[in-house]
Structures are given as structure tokens and as C-alpha cells.
Structure 1
Amino acid sequence: MHIDTIPVISVSYNSAELIEDLLSSFRAHYRNPVTIIDGSGEQHYRAIEAVCARYDDVRFIHFDYNIHHGPGMAWAFQNLELQGPVLVLDSDVFILKRGFLEDMAQRLQPGMYGVGYVNHVNEGGYDVDYEQGAVRYLHPACMLVNIEVLRQWPMPTKHGAPMTEPMLALHRAGQGQLVQGIDWLKEDFLNTTTGERHYLRHDWQGTVKRSGSYGLDEWNQKSRQAAELRLMVQTMLPPGPRLLFELGANDALLARACKEADPATRYLAAGSHPDKASVTQNACDALYPCDPDTLDDAFFRDHGATDCWILDQALERSAAPEQLLARIRKCIRPDASVVAVIPNAQHWGMLLRMAIGDLAYSAEGLLSPGQRRWFSRVTMFELFRQAGFRIVQGAPVIRQPLQHPGVAAALRQLTASMGVDPELAFQDAQADLYLIKAVPC
């Protein structure tokens, strides 16, 4: 393939000036076909479309919503007629001179996933300062990929580090060598202030500076919260070697963390999340991709040797949580336990939403489509008691404490008027979720 025929993909969001800089600098040196995948708001996308129209062989594809970087790339990879090498550039990249694409094309060998700026991250997508055991992460800011190879692996996702899923898949399959770093590109990207650059200028988060966090701050917060919850769950698990069975299969990183802490641990999982099944399978010794409600008494008897049952978003998603716990109780060993993560429907934020009628469903949380049952601290405890369990350990997970004095006073007054201890009710309204450990009575 001739250098000038390699297609170029870039994802745009609310920044016509960035696209102007990218296209003007690129067209000063290359004539390659360019496709801009745009998810800008109505007040921005017309300006970006006009910029694209000023340049030959630039295709503008607009979505009526913020498609985000990862899904935008994935849409292009899966829907455009692409063959052979494909160049991906961030919208805030500025080309200084010709030669970078020629060098990248020479380095990209048949069968490789891609070349570009590569650094090392952990399985959550965070940068680390070690290489042994770390995940090689190919930055989409500037990468040249073999599209046929890329399509064999998971697609980029809506994520602060959108290439995390494909890079994790390569890492876990022992194929990290399919990604190769380029020293001059790393130097260009890390040199953001002074000094000479080889070919490119890239002011990190240029889009973020112009149009907001682009979801990165939210992702960072959620990732930290998930990591903290995993650590809390691990503290309640029995010491190894142990047999763990997770119902819910929501977090493959928990399975991996347990096995890394004790390689002799066996980790099994059952859950109805087919989109996560391949990732979870690589972390687990066995995966049953099914709704836990469909598991019968015989299944639980067959796994009666389990040391701890982990219920991660299982009880609130179950059509019959009482029956699910009862089936575990029939087969659980006297010295085994159940560790459950359960959202708190009594959270003050939910109480306020109900008070004002704001009950719109959302993709996650208590109003997500998969949520079937709501529990408060009291009803959680009663659920386990009726199933034949005794709570031996519990902890509230407080992420959004109530800090508004007026609302706090109103909540105390309301509960006191109903004959309920206002301080206890106030504390019960603080937890976003509860972590519970129970043993058979």
C-alpha cells in the first residue's frame, strides 16, 4: 500500500479549532483520505463540518450524541471499508513535518496489531512505573494498526483509556509483542513544553481543556471506587487456599486479584453478562454465563465444597433473592460463608429523588433496568435471617455523604415524627451500598 493511501481516522468532540489544526497540518504534508467521527453538540458540529468541507478527501460522519473516543473508533473500525494499515490520530495532534507515517509504516509488520506510543499500565488502565507483568498500552493518540488483526480482538470502549480492553486481551493471551512502541513518538508526546520535536506536537487532553473532562474524571472516580470495593471484599474472604464462587460475575478484576494473592485459589463465577464473559473467563477457573436464577438445587449441591459465595449485584437483580439464598443455604458447609455487595435503597439521594418524583431510569444504579429488588439495611439483614444465615460482619460503603444542613435537618425531623430514631435513620441514609458477610446458623 502506498503511504498516501493509508486511511486516517480521528474522533471529534465540540472543537472546530482542533480539527482545523489537525487537517491543515496534515494536509501540508500528506494527501491521505481522512474520516472524522464526530459526536459534537448541535452548536458545534456545523462548524466542524464546515472545516472538513474545506479540505479534499475528508469525510465527516456525525452522531447526534457524544459517541466518545472509544466507541467512535470502534464504530469506524467495524463499519468503514478499511483494509491493511489504518492511522488513528487524536484531534489535538499537530503534524510538524513529513516522515512520521513512513517510519511507522516501515515498523508495522504483517501480523502485528499496531505501532505507536506504548507505555505500561495495570489492569485498571492506570500508568505504572514497572514493566514486568504490566500491560503494554498502545495510545490511540497516534497509532498505526493492521485493521485485519485489530478486528480479531475486543474493540475500544467508553473509557478514560479506551484501548484498555483490547490491550488487556492481548496481554492475557500472551500476545503483547503484537504491539510495538516507537521511541521518537514517545519523546514527541512527552515533550509538551520545551525542546525539539521529531514530527508531531500533541498537547495532552486538548479536547478536554476546550470542552470539559470528556468523561475522564468520572471514569477515574468510578475506577478508584471499584478498586476500593474490591479490597473491602477481599478482607472478608477466607484465607487461602480456598474455593470461591461469585454469582453476578461483574468484576473480573476481583477474580484476578484473588488468584494473584493466592495462586492456589480456585475462582468460579456465574453471571448473565455475555459482553464481559470473555474477560471474566480469562480470570476464572470456570465461568457459567447464565442468570443465577436459572441455577437449580443440583447445581448448588455440585458446588457444595465452596468456601465462600460472593454475591456481587446478584440479590438486587434476582427475581427471587430469598430462593437464591435458600439454595445456597441447603448446600453450604458449616464453616463456609457468604459475602454480599448490596446497594442501599435508603440512600438520601434516592429519598430526595422520590420526594420530587425524579424516577427516570438510567444505565446504572438503583434505577437501572436490571434492578429488580430494593433493600435497606434492615431488610437486608432480615433477608439473610429468614434464609438461615447470621450476619457476622458488615460495612457501609459511603461515597456521597449528606452534607447539606437543611436537607439533613429535614430528614431527621421527618423520621423523628414517625417515631424512628432520627440519628439511626440519618446514618442509614448515608451508605451507597453495604458489604455483608454471613454464615449459616
Structure 2
Amino acid sequence: MTDYRRLRVALLGAGAVGSQVASLLLRHADELADRAGASLELAGIAVRDVNAPREVDLPRELFTTDAEALIVGADIVIELMGGIDPAREYVLQAINSGADVVTANKALLATHGAEIFEAADQVGAQVYYEAAAAGAIPIIRPLRDSLAGDRVQRIMGIVNGTTNYILDRMDTEGAEFEDVLAQAQALGYAEADPTADVEGYDAAQKAAILASLAFHTAVPLDAVHREGITGIDKAMIDAARHAGYVVKLLAVCERLPAESEGGESISVRVYPALVDRAHPLASVHGANNAVFVQAEAAGNLMFYGAGAGGVQTASAVLGDVVSAARRHVAGGVGVAESTRANLPVSPIGRVTTRYQITLEVDDRPGVLATVAGTLSEGRVSIATVEQTVVGEHTPTEGDPTESSPRARLVIGTHKAREQDLSETVDRLAASGVVERVVSVLRVEGD
């Protein structure tokens, strides 16, 4: 092997991803050195418990519980602990000691990214985070580097494998949400507490990271509109299929045109949406992820692959490690994050899209006309209506109404403003002709 300069690598965390990163660093040391132009020495692995069982057999002498001591003297620090604390403290310590940082910690970057990038900029260090947004899919570098000279208009991403697995099984097999969630937990796709996945928190963190890169604007996590998939049931999946759609949990990052009262802004949101079955995102099955980018000059770009998994995510981490090593060899300061556009993040009410509204109503003359009139008054235009009889309304004790047949209306709209749609649905719910608003789903990907 060529006599390369030696770089010390400190690894924080040895879970599913960290163990694979350590194993690959040790097994492929010579190849990685040839690619990086530097010898990568794994100086140690900081963990909470050195005796904990691990998926990969690693030299015991590498393990330590003293992360701070390990960071001192490291050229590259790989943070794979997850969570906010003490990961934030260790990352800032690494940066301030002059090390480059590689992390897959989406929660940390979505919450404290501005602080971390500013700290790196102050000392000329670099933070790499390819694995933080979509596992093994290379999306960070294309947004940060390849498309830096273009104008990204929109990103739609399936960025959470657990929810995609659940919705895909519900669509392809007709399964119920609770049954598929239990299977996902048994297979290890979902945690015992699946809240972060099924309520959209994980996807919202990734959306904040992607939007910050795409629009060169720091996007705080609390500015991301978030909805989960726990309200999606078999009837909604069936209705979507009948209309030619599939339900996906989407992270949508969009550039919004200027309005009279201000300039251009952006929208960052996560929610279950209807995607036309002809759209590339509709064919993303199982626990896979995909990110669909629309740029002014480059046009439509699709990035697809494994969004999770120890060895898959380790691939993205090691790509960052090689990039960091090359930077050390070449010398010079790190490249600062481009967040100077400072575009405001608009509330969800400003978004314009199409909708599918499902209502349960009494099946009697005049109901459809009342519903159509209410929608029209709210500036929501009907594109399609489908009505099916679903049962009978049986009065309860003290209810003066007579027994009557019940119908379900599935209404597709033309494009409407979210605020108008939301206010109109509230009026429908209070109109006296609507028994229940079953669901309101956005249509994305037109």
C-alpha cells in the first residue's frame, strides 16, 4: 500500500449503522485509503456500554465510554449516536477542536443545524450529512453541489420507510393499518413506539433538511407542517385506488410565487397525499425511499433506493468520510452551508393543490346541491363527484329525525387554496346536511 498520510477517525455510537461503519472501515482500509488519498485509522468507538451485544464482531480494544477523550486529536468524527443530547455537545466539541464531522443525525440537524453549521464556518471545518435525509440515497450532494447553480422549484419525497411499507401493504394487500403496523414492528421496520414514524415527525425532520438545502434558507423544524398516517384506513385506500391514486406520506418542499403583500416564499410540509399511479413516486414499494426533484433548468430528477438499514446507511456515511479525508489532504477551509436566501416559510394556508373530500350525508333530495353550493361559495371548484349508498341513518333516543338512507360523496376538486378549502370543509361540517367529514386528502404530483 502507498505510504499515505494518516487521519484519525473517531466513531461515536455502535448501533446498527455504527457497527457497520466500523466493520467496513476496518475491512476495506486499503481501498478507502486509495480513494481518499489518506490512511483512515479508526482510533476508537465511544459507546454507553462496552459490553452490550452488537450485530458485528469488532475488536474490543476499540471501545470506550469516554467520548470526549476520543474526540481530542481526531481529524474526522463520525456521530451516529442519534438524539439531541449529548450528540450536540460532542459535535460542537469536535468542530471546535478542528475536526470535520460526519453525521446521520436528522433530529440534531433539523433542530440545531444552524448553530452547528455556524460553528463549523467559524473554524473552517466541514459537516457532512448525506445519510441524514434518505439513508443510502445520494440526495444531499446533488442538492448542495450539483444543483447549486439551478433553481429548485419543488421536492416531493417518500423519506420514511416505515410509513411507506405500511401504506404499500394496505394498498397492495387490502390490509388494515393496525395489522400492518404490528407486522412492521415484528420485522424491525417500526419501533415498539412508532410515533416518530407514523405521526410524521421523522419525515418532518428530513423535510426541513432538504428544504434548507434546496432553497438556501434555514428552515426551523417548527415551521414544517406535519400530519401522520394514523387516520388512514382501508376505505380511504380503496377510494384512492378506485380513483386511480395511491396514498403516500410525502415530504413536500415547494417554492411559492410572490403575493401582493410580499415576495417569494417557500412551503415545507409532511402529510399523507394522493399520488397518481402513473407518477414515479407511486411505484415506490416496501420500505424504500424516493425523492423527486423539479428544477428550473435540469427538469425532473428522481432519486430512489433504500431509505434505511445498517449497511445501506453505512454506505452514505463512508462516502462522507472519504470526502472529508480528501478535504484534509487537499487542505483549505470547509465550504459553508448556503443559507443566505432567507426566504420566509409560509403557513400551510397559502398552499394551492387539488383535494379529494369524502363526506357522509343523508341520501335525500337537495343534499348534493347544498354541498355544491357551499363549495362554490368557498371558491372551491368541483372536478368529479361519486356517490355510493353506505347504509341507513338510525335515529337515537331523543333524535327527532326519521330513519333515512346514508350516502358517501367522494368529491374531487380543481386546484384550491388550502385556507379556502379548510374553511369550506368546516362550513360543510356545520351545514346540517353533512353527517360526517370522513377525510380530506391533498392530491400531489400533477
Provide TM-score, normalisation by structure 2.
0.28
Give the structure with the higher percent strand: 2
Question: Which structure is higher in RCO with an 8 Å CA cutoff and minimum separation 6?
Answer: 2
